[in-house]
Amino acid sequence: MEPVEAVQPGTLVYDPRTRKVGEYRGEAGPCAMLRPVGGGREWQADPALIRTATAEERLSAGVRAANGRSLGGVLAAPPLVDVGPPPVPVTGCASCARLAERRAHARAAGDGSAETDADVLLARHQRHEHRGRRLFRYVPFAIVQDPSALPEYQAHCVSGDDADCGATSGPRQTPADVEEWQRGHTQETRHIRYRRCFADYAVLECRA
């Protein structure tokens, strides 16, 4: 791809290390910062590896983001934690005022991620420095699979008399890939017992 310094923030790029398309946000030290299509937690990428996403990759990422939003109400339930309104700065506290100003700048710039970060820091500051009466408000939320991150499947061979074999398939994109590795490993070793794992990323969305 073109040099990172020539890429404008907001450009969709492909990160081969994570196999994800992300929105280029800028540089943080030696890393490029990317944000999932449709919003979410940023991640660090190697500037030397990322490239401009193809039209097909951009379309696929957009479809996954739209599908994730459409599933928003499926897992709606009462929250297990207190999720209330944005914290209000305490009058006369310089730290509260500074974080509130940071939040206001992020809101004015339309940077929802930075605004959320400021809210988290302000709430944390108030928990440590302004202990007192707290108000709790219960709101519905949804936990959905992050469409910008592919799930992973993996198998570990636990056959063996004295100790587990320890062989592993490594992360695979589909259960079929893992099963194919198991068949091959069994043919080579006659081992037949495996521990299988599945991992994905989930996003909690407030539905107030």
pLDDT digits (tens, 9 = 90+) for 187-200: 999 999 999 998 88
Gap between the Cα atoms of 152 and 174, Å rounded: 7
pLDDT of residue 72 exceeding 80, the answer is: no
Gap between the Cα atoms of 161 and 166, Å rounded: 12
Check if the beta carbon of residue 58 is closer than 8 Å to that of residue 12. yes
pLDDT of residue 66 exceeding 90, the answer is: no
- 85-95 pLDDT, tens digit per residue, is 788 888 889 98
- 90-125 pLDDT, tens digit per residue, is 888 998 899 999 888 888 887 777 788 888 888 888
Tell me if 75 is assigned to some domain.
no
Average pLDDT, the chain: 80
Range of the domain at 123: 94-135
- Nearest to 11, CA basis, from 50, 67, 48: 50
Tell me if 86 is assigned to some domain.
no
- Please give the model's pTM, rounded to 2 decimal places: 0.34
Tell me if 142 is assigned to some domain.
no
Number of domains the chain is built from? 3
Q: How many C-beta atoms lie closer than 10 Å to residue 113's C-beta?
A: 14
Check if the beta carbon of residue 42 is closer than 8 Å to that of residue 35. yes
Mean pLDDT value of segment 60-89 = 62
Mean pLDDT value of segment 128-141 = 65
pLDDT band of residue 27 (cuts 50, 70, 90) is confident
pLDDT band of residue 202 (cuts 50, 70, 90) is confident
Gap between the Cα atoms of 162 and 150, Å rounded: 36
- 136-195 pLDDT, tens digit per residue, is 556 677 888 777 778 889 999 999 877 889 899 988 888 899 999 999 999 999 999 999
- Please tell me whether residues 202 and 158 are part of one structural domain: yes
- Cβ-based neighbours of 173, under 8 Å, separated by 6 or more: 150, 151, 152, 153
Tell me if 143 is assigned to some domain.
no
- Please tell me whether residues 131 and 156 are part of one structural domain: no
Check if the beta carbon of residue 72 is closer than 8 Å to that of residue 207. yes
Gap between the Cα atoms of 149 and 16, Å rounded: 12
Check if the beta carbon of residue 106 is closer than 8 Å to that of residue 115. yes
Q: What pLDDT does 138 receive?
A: 60
Q: What pLDDT does 74 receive?
A: 46
Domain boundary among 78, 109, 135: 135
Most confident listed range (29-33, 62-66, 97-101, 120-124): 97-101
Check if the beta carbon of residue 58 is closer than 8 Å to that of residue 21. yes
Tell me if 21 is assigned to some domain.
yes
